[in-house]
């Protein structure tokens, strides 16, 4: 029973996040997710509808290739509208050449990549496939993740890449944002930067790196990018950190306030939750990768 790891990139604009969802039609309309209903993904329960998710689309493509009912498990549950350059997922399938099912080990992973991509829509692509050990788990063996958040800082709005940046009109003090970011590096209780209902047993996480950089792109216009690397992130944590740093950049908060916000463990003291548009999952790293790969 070979197990394969997939590295996946996607434009999250027209997806209702990574994780499969099958609400009732009424529920999907109430939450505004009804526009993401995917008629090609028919739930077993006739009272429910399948939303268009990355997991659902990739899993359907994999099942068509291996001709088995496999489950594709992803490492990060990105929200609706969030993009990814390095999502990781894995699945186990049969390897029976005679039965014409599964994907036998003797077949190349390059061929597997091409086969799955041939079944996928234009807004998601498999970058790489690799044979891994039976115990490889995309979530359980994850060591670090990195996200980026990109702002378009100008009076004029972005056009061609408007789906991948968040527009901020006010001129931002990037140096103050970078100073504020330093307070968040290390192991802390990030309750102040987690959405309610996050569902985690602990809000303690470790941030290994957090930087804010600026690139001028024209007169009065710049791209400001926040890069954050940690051992894991709470629901909306990166977007709330970004919103807090934007408040600092605008002068609504001082750089020195972030330490007190962190220590308060009070969500109401942090900044707003930014929209998903500018957020991208950059990469995921694993413990002892050589031991996991066959």
Query: Taking Cα atoms as reference points, which of 274, 268, 213 lies closest to residue 241?
Result: 274
What does each C-alpha distance from 105 to 59, 113, 123, 129 come to in angstroms?
Answer: 20, 14, 28, 12
User: DSSP 3-state assignment of 250?
Assistant: helix
CB 255 within 8 A of CB 176: yes
Torsion of CA 51, 233, 150, 279, to 10 degrees: -10
Give the active site residues: 79
**Contacts of residue 213, Cβ cutoff 8 Å, sequence gap at least 6:** 174, 224, 225, 227
User: Residue 215: which of 275, 149, 163, 153 has the closest Cα?
Assistant: 153
Please compute, for residue 167, the number of CA atoms within 13 A of its CA located in the half-sphere on the CB side: 11
Contact status, residue 288 vs residue 294, Cβ threshold 8 Å: no
Q: Phi/psi class of residue 261: alpha, beta or left (left: φ > 0; alpha: ψ in -120 to 50)?
A: alpha
φ and ψ of 44, to 5 deg: -70, -30
């Amino acid at each position: 029973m070979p197990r394969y790891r997939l590295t996946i990139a996607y434009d999250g604009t027209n997806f209702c996040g990574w994780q499969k969802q099958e609400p009732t039609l009424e529920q999907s309309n109430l939450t505004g997710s009804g526009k993401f209903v995917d008629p090609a993904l028919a739930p077993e329960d006739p009272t429910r509808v399948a939303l268009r998710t990355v997991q659902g689309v990739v899993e359907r493509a994999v099942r068509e290739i291996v001709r088995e009912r496999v489950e594709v498990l992803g490492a990060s549950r990105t929200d609706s509208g969030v993009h990814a350059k390095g999502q990781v997922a894995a699945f186990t399938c049969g390897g029976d050449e005679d039965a014409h099912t599964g994907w036998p080990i003797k077949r190349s992973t390059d061929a597997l990549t091409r086969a799955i991509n041939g079944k996928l829509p234009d807004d998601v692509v498999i970058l790489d496939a690799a044979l891994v050990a039976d115990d490889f788990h995309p979530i359980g063996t994850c060591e670090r993740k990195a996200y980026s958040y990109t702002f378009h800082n100008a009076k004029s709005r972005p056009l061609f890449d408007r789906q991948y940046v968040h527009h901020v009109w006010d001129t931002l003090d990037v140096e103050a944002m970078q100073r504020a970011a330093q307070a968040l590096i290390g192991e802390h209780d990030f309750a102040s930067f987690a959405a309610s209902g996050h569902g985690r047993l602990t809000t303690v996480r470790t941030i290994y790196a957090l930087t804010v950089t600026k690139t001028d792109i024209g007169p009065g216009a710049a791209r400001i990018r926040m890069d954050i690397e940690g051992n894991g992130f709470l629901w909306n944590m990166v977007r709330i950190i970004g919103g807090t740093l934007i408040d600092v950049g605008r002068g609504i908060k001082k750089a020195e306030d972030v330490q007190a916000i962190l220590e308060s463990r009070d969500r109401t003291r942090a900044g707003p939750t930014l929209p998903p548009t500018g957020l991208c999952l950059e990469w995921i790293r694993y413990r002892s990768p050589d031991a996991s790969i066959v």
